[in-house]
Amino acid sequence: MINRRKFIKQTAAGVTGLTLSTHSFANMLVQKKKERLGVALVGLGYYSTDLLAPALKLTKQCYLAGIVTGTPSKAERWKQIYKLEDKNIYDYRNFDSLANNTDIDVVYVVLPPSLHAEFSIRAAKAGKHVWCEKPMAITEAECKMMIDACVQNKVKLSIGYRMHHEPNTQKIIQFRKERTYGNVIKVEAAAGYFDSRTDHWKQNKKMGGGCTYDMGVYPLNAARYSTGLEPIAVSARASVTRPAIYTEVEETMAFDLEFPGGATALCETSLGKSMNDLTVTCSKGWYKLSPFQSYTGIDGVTSDGVKLNVSIPNEQALQMDDDALAIMNGTPMLVPGEEGLRDIRVVEAIYRSVAQKGRVKIG
């Protein structure tokens, strides 16, 4: 088998050569309605190992049915821990044979961003529903390819924005929709942490590294769901405090968004410092969450003292159960591919703004 770390370096160039033709097996399998959906995790790094796999033990609508890994020792360890059948354990070379496996209904892509489009498209061509971690992909063009592949192969696509499923986040979205505190005037959002690693894909440009892809989509997405609008312009500034480590990508990114009607958003993201705050200022008050994107402990308050601190057992389990129900019931995904695409469109504009050292229009 091929090692995952070696594999992602070899394939980081992208997916421009992929076609969107329907996989020959995709239409051959007629699956019976299931009580729970089988999920295969693609990539067994930290997020799969420490968060998604444990969460799948708590889900009611889906369960861990299989894995895709290039490391035999990982495969054996997961097989023992999760009692996986040999036929449900894949590597990156035999990935497409998932098309023959009726145990697996959903493929959850948890790889570096440069591989999201390739494996999402391959999963769709294999006739599997696709859950893809954020960021959706590297470019808007890749996002469109992913959406098209899922449409053509009649499978659903969801992006792993777990905060959309989280109750306190849903509450501030409700505030915006109902104009509880008036019209949104300004959003301030910041998400970051100090990453001490010195040799990781997050420092590799070809793999989709840099703080903007990794953490920047949190404040960006928050600015969009807080306003309910798409930004029309951005002014961005990138910086690095550890040049020996961040030789290819930015360590910190500040970006200011302009929205139709005059609303603005001041956003910052970083892999060099910790921050985790969202404040929404409206014409008749304000509300904030701090932290606004942690795995637990989302906490906030409004200008008139309303507490925003509803707790849930597990964010990832809620996200996956919601998405599984949407598949089983034939209802829209809460976070479809189009949502991820809109963020990547802005991310590309952010990098253009840095390169041009000025304000860039989006659209």
Same domain, 186 and 154: no
pLDDT tier, 206 (very low <50, low <70, confident <90, very high otherwise): very high
Same domain, 128 and 194: no
Length of the chain: 363
Residue 14 has pLDDT above 60, yes or no: no
CATH number, domain containing residue 149: 3.40.50.720
Same domain, 204 and 256: yes
Q: Tell me the residue range of the domain where 189 lies.
A: 167-311+339-361
User: Both ends of the chain: CA-CA distance in Å?
Assistant: 44
Whether residue 218 lies in the annotated active site = yes
pLDDT of residue 29: 39
Same domain, 212 and 348: yes
Give the count of beta carbons closer than 10 Å to the beta carbon of residue 19.
8
Q: Is residue 307 part of a domain?
A: yes
Q: How many CA atoms lie within 13 A of 216 on its CB side?
A: 34
Same domain, 148 and 244: no
Q: Is residue 328 part of a domain?
A: no
DSSP letters for 198-224 = SSSGGG-GGGT-SHIIIIIHHHHHHHH
Among 145, 162, 179, give the residue marking a domain's end: 162
pLDDT of residue 11: 53
pLDDT digits (tens, 9 = 90+) for 277-316: 999 999 999 999 999 999 999 999 999 999 999 999 999 9
Bridge partners of residue 361, in order along the sequence:
233
Residue 12 has pLDDT above 50, yes or no: no
Q: Is residue 319 part of a domain?
A: no
Residue 125 has pLDDT above 70, yes or no: yes
pLDDT of residue 3: 55
Same domain, 354 and 276: yes
- Say how far residue 238 (Cα) sits from the centre of its chain: 22
Same domain, 89 and 234: no
Report the mean per-residue pLDDT for the chain: 93
Question: Per-residue pLDDT averaged across 9-19, rounded?
Answer: 49
pLDDT digits (tens, 9 = 90+) for 63-93: 999 999 999 999 999 999 999 999 999 999 9
- Give φ, ψ of 15 to 5 degrees: -130, 25
As for how many domains the chain has, the answer is 2
Cis-peptide, bond into residue 336, ω within 30° of zero: no
Same domain, 198 and 73: no
pLDDT tier, 24 (very low <50, low <70, confident <90, very high otherwise): very low
Q: Is residue 329 part of a domain?
A: no
Q: Is residue 316 part of a domain?
A: no
d(CA 20, CA 10): 22
Whether residue 295 lies in the annotated active site = no
Q: Is residue 330 part of a domain?
A: no
pLDDT of residue 363: 82
- % of the chain surpassing 90 pLDDT: 90
Strand pairing report for 307-308 and 300-302: antiparallel
Among 127, 146, 162, give the residue marking a domain's end: 162
Q: Is residue 317 part of a domain?
A: no
Written as one letter, the residue type at 15 is V
Query: Which residue would you say has higher pLDDT here, 28 or 208?
Result: 208
Same domain, 157 and 172: no
pLDDT tier, 34 (very low <50, low <70, confident <90, very high otherwise): confident
Same domain, 137 and 219: no
Same domain, 171 and 193: yes
- Give φ, ψ of 3 to 5 degrees: -65, 140
pLDDT tier, 22 (very low <50, low <70, confident <90, very high otherwise): very low
Residue 32 has pLDDT above 80, yes or no: no
CATH number, domain containing residue 220: 3.30.360.10
Q: Which of 218, 225, 246, 287 is catalytic?
A: 218
Among 162, 190, 211, give the residue marking a domain's end: 162
Q: Is the model's pTM score more than 0.95?
A: no
Same domain, 12 and 43: yes
d(CA 140, CA 343): 9
Strand pairing report for 272-282 and 264-270: unpaired
Q: How many CA atoms lie within 13 A of 356 on its CB side?
A: 12
- Strand ranges, E, within the chain: 37-42, 62-68, 89-90, 106-109, 129-132, 157-159, 184-194, 233-239, 252-258, 264-270, 272-282, 285-289, 300-302, 307-308, 360-361
Q: Which of 134, 171, 186, 202 is catalytic?
A: 134
pLDDT digits (tens, 9 = 90+) for 126-183: 999 999 999 999 999 999 999 999 999 999 999 999 999 999 999 999 999 999 999 9
Q: Is residue 334 part of a domain?
A: no
SS3 assignment, position 85:
coil
pLDDT of residue 5: 55
Residue 19 has pLDDT above 80, yes or no: no
